[in-house]
């Protein structure tokens, strides 16, 4: 596989939040920030948002749609959905192990 998610460095976490936000349909910049804040509590700043969006766009994981005046919506691509599913699976595995081990540690 190529184009690994880890290559995004410090933009990996914001990118995961952006891909999650776009998973159910296209959104423009501010709508992504508002959505991310709503579902994760993370208040993303514009510099981080566009730093991550430009990297996702160049990797072919999101693509820009036609601008509506100054607002340009972005949509997730099939490759973006694939990489998001991969990340989610990894996170699910971590959650599973963490649950198991904390349960064991607490003697549950």
Partner 1 sequence: MRTGQAGRLSRALVGCHPRRWRERYREEMLDVLDQHQASARTVLNLAVSVLSTHVDPAYRTEALSLPRLRRAALISVVIAAPLALILGPVGYGIWQDDHWHPAADEGLVSAAFSAHAAILVTAFGVTLDGMDMVWDVTDLSRPRRLSQFEGGQPTTLSPDGRIVATVDFSHPVLWNVADPRHPARIATLPADAGGLRGQEFSPDGQILATAYYDQVLLWDVTSPARPRLLRTLDAPATSPPGSAGLPFSAQDIAFSPDGSILASATGTDQVTLWNVADPARAYRIADIDDPGAFAQGFAFSPSGNLLSVLYSGGTVLVYSLADPARPARTATVTGLLVRAKFPDGQSQPDEVLCATCIWTGEAVAFSPDGHTLTVIVNRTEMSANSGRDTIFDWPVTGSGTLGTATVTARDAADSQPFIAPSDRTVLGSPSNYHWRTWPLP
Applying CB under 8 A, the residues found at the interface with partner 1 are: 1-4, 6-7, 9-10, 25-26, 28-30, 33, 45-51, 54-55, 57-61, 63-67, 69-72, 75-82, 86, 89-90, 93
> Measured in whole angstroms, how far is the alpha carbon of residue 44 from the centre of its chain?
12
Q: Are 62 and 32 in contact (CB under 8 A)?
A: no
Q: Are 12 and 55 in contact (CB under 8 A)?
A: no
The residue (of 40 and 51) whose beta carbon lies closer to partner 1 is 51
- Shortest Cβ distance from residue 25 to partner 1 (Å)? 6
Residue 88's Cβ-side half-sphere holds a number of Cα atoms within 13 Å equal to: 10
The residue (of 10 and 108) whose beta carbon lies closer to partner 1 is 10
Q: What is the 8-class DSSP label of residue 80?
A: H
Q: What is the 8-class DSSP label of residue 10?
A: G
- Shortest Cβ distance from residue 89 to partner 1 (Å)? 6
The residue (of 101 and 106) whose beta carbon lies closer to partner 1 is 101
Identify the residue whose tokens are 């694939």. 82
Q: Are 18 and 75 in contact (CB under 8 A)?
A: no
The residue (of 40 and 81) whose beta carbon lies closer to partner 1 is 81
- Shortest Cβ distance from residue 103 to partner 1 (Å)? 21
């Amino acid at each position: 596989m190529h184009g690994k998610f880890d290559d995004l460095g410090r933009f990996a976490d914001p990118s995961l939040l952006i891909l999650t936000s776009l998973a159910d349909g296209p959104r423009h910049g501010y709508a992504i920030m508002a959505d991310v804040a709503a579902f994760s509590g993370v208040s993303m700043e514009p510099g981080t948002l566009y730093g991550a969006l430009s990297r996702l766009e160049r990797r072919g994981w999101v693509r820009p749609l036609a601008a509506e005046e100054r607002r340009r919506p972005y949509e997730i691509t099939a490759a973006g959905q694939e990489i998001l599913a991969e990340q989610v699976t990894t996170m699910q595995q971590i959650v599973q192990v963490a649950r198991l081990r904390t349960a064991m540690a607490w003697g549950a």
